[in-house]
């Protein structure tokens, strides 16, 4: 009778242990709601407004690369390097006064202009000496930087409108431990201005076409570690394994305590 009573008590203890572990561990599992992107039915997430895309504007210290196209091959070979790739061509830095100097043309004001707008201005200046001049212009520093819980590195902006999702794909995505509620983008605003810090929750679908959707040259994307990540388990198999191992440890401890009494 006593043995049966002890067995019943041990069974109750087992159930209590499992229940306590479930209460504490289950909320700590990573779920789609906590880490999934483009969520549309989660009403607890913020709703971001759409904004019109604005072209990047040239800033001090940007590196410009140009190509001159003209029917006069002699002039073209003198003014434009022979390399066919922009990455291998000589770049020209925008000075602190917002101007750039190119061969035969000095102090062209380009700060605050879009790349297309700067190309038009430079082309006009070249046509003063080369009537049929056509200018192709690009930024050499078309890169963004990532740090925190999505790796660290500098990556190219390979298209005109690079989205935050495409940027994450280049970097390998955010770790499960990353805080998706408080993703930050550090964005330069030009000489003499403090950088703009954009903070947002990357999970809602409304991030698409919002002010946080596109990545610009020189952006720095930072994802901090979530304060809850220490207690989280990566998936349900880990969750079950954790409960099982914990119960085994506790039962073993209880068994040994009875034996050595």
> What pLDDT, on a 0 to 100 scale, did the predictor assign at position 234?
47
Q: Select from 172, 173, 169, 150 the least CA-distant residue to 159.
A: 169
Which of the residue ranges 107-111, 134-138, 234-238 would you say has the lowest mean pLDDT? Answer: 234-238
Q: Select from 94, 90, 91, 92 the least CA-distant residue to 61.
A: 94
Q: How far apart are CA 225 and CA 238, in angstroms?
A: 20
Q: Select from 93, 35, 24, 91 the least CA-distant residue to 60.
A: 93
pTM: 0.74
Q: How far apart are CA 31 and CA 15, in angstroms?
A: 25
Residue 135 class from Cβ within 10 Å (0-12 exposed, 13-18 middle, 19+ buried)? buried
> What pLDDT, on a 0 to 100 scale, did the predictor assign at position 172?
85
Is the pLDDT at 145 greater than 80? The verdict is: yes
- Per-residue pLDDT tens digits for 182-235: 999 999 988 778 899 999 999 999 999 999 999 999 999 999 998 764 444 444
Q: How far apart are CA 48 and CA 203, in angstroms?
A: 11
Domain boundaries, the chain: 32-54+142-230, 63-139
Q: What SS3 state is found at 200?
A: strand
Please report which helix (H) or strand (E) contains residue 74, including its range.
helix 73-79
Per-residue pLDDT band at 236 (split at 50, 70, 90): very low
Backbone angles phi, psi at 21, to 5 degrees: -65, -40
Classify domain 63-139 by CATH number.
3.30.1950.10
Average pLDDT over residues 141-165: 94
Quote the radius of gyration of the chain (alpha carbons, Å). Answer: 30
> What pLDDT, on a 0 to 100 scale, did the predictor assign at position 22?
47
Classify domain 32-54+142-230 by CATH number.
3.10.560.10
Per-residue pLDDT band at 136 (split at 50, 70, 90): very high
Instruction: Note whether 32-54+142-230 and 63-139 share their fold.
Output: no
């Amino acid at each position: 009778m006593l043995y049966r009573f002890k067995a019943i008590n041990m069974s109750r203890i087992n159930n209590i242990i499992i229940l306590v572990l479930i209460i504490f561990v289950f909320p700590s599992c990573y779920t789609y709601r906590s880490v999934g992107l483009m969520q549309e039915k989660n009403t607890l997430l913020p709703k971001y407004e759409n904004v019109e895309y604005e072209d990047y504007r040239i800033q001090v210290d940007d590196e410009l690369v140009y190509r001159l196209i003209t029917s006069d091959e002699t002039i073209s070979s003198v003014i434009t390097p022979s390399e066919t790739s922009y990455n291998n061509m000589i770049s020209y830095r925008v000075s602190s006064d917002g101007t750039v100097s190119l061969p035969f043309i000095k102090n062209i004001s380009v700060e605050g202009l879009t790349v297309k707008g700067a190309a038009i201005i430079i082309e006009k200046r070249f046509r003063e000496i080369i009537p049929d001049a056509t200018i192709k212009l690009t930024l050499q520093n078309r890169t963004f930087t990532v740090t925190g819980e999505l790796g660290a590195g500098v990556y190219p902006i390979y298209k005109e409108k690079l989205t935050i999702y495409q940027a994450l794909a280049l970097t390998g995505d955010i770790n499960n431990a990353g805080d998706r509620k408080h993703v930050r983008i550090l964005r330069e605003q030009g000489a003499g201005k403090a950088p703009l810090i954009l903070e947002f929750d990357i999970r809602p679908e409304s991030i698409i076409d919002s002010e946080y959707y596109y990545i610009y040259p020189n952006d720095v994307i930072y994802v901090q570690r979530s304060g809850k990540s220490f207690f989280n388990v990566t998936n349900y198999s880990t969750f079950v394994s954790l409960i099982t191992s914990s119960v085994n440890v506790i039962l073993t401890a209880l068994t040994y305590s009875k034996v050595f009494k």
